[in-house]
Structure 1
């Protein structure tokens, strides 16, 4: 997963405004008690950060693997 894919699935899952808030404010225990933004800045792999967000927000498996779906097919899909 690339950084751009991380931000794309965050926006697709939560919406632009709320997604940014989740990334900036939600503390993720599995990445050392950092937010997603802090973890990415510290060099944690985007895939690991996305998994931490999915775990913390209790997102389903389809959402967890959303970045593997063709972007054209992802549009309109929401988190369950």
Structure 2
């Protein structure tokens, strides 16, 4: 997954105004207590991060 697709999905589910703030502030247990931004900065793959966001937000299987 490319970063552009990742951010498109984030914007779709959280809204373009909120997705970046959420990604900077919400620590996810699925990411070892890191935020999305921290995980990206540490080189985690966007697809892995999306799966963590998907699980955390309890999105439908079709959005995985």
TM-score tier (shorter): 0.7 to 0.9
- CA-to-aligned-CA distance 1:41-62 (integer Å, 9 cap, x gap): 1000000101101111111112
In structure 1, distance between residues paired with 2:52 and 2:17 = 19
In structure 2, distance between residues paired with 1:19 and 1:5 = 13
Q: TM-score, normalised by structure 1?
A: 0.72
In structure 2, distance between residues paired with 1:34 and 1:11 = 20
Q: For residue 51 of structure 2, what is the aligned residue in structure 1?
A: 51
In structure 2, distance between residues paired with 1:46 and 1:15 = 18
Whose Rg is larger?
1
Higher relative contact order (CA 8 A, sep 6+): 1
Q: TM-score, normalised by structure 2?
A: 0.88
| Aligned positions of 1:59-70 closer than 5 A | 59-64=59-64
- CA-to-aligned-CA distance 1:3-47 (integer Å, 9 cap, x gap): 111111111121111211221111111222100011001000000
| Aligned positions of 1:1-80 closer than 5 A | 1-64=1-64
Q: Give the superposed CA RMSD.
A: 1.1
Q: Is the 8 A contact 1:13 1:63 kept in 2?
A: no
In structure 2, distance between residues paired with 1:62 and 1:20 = 23
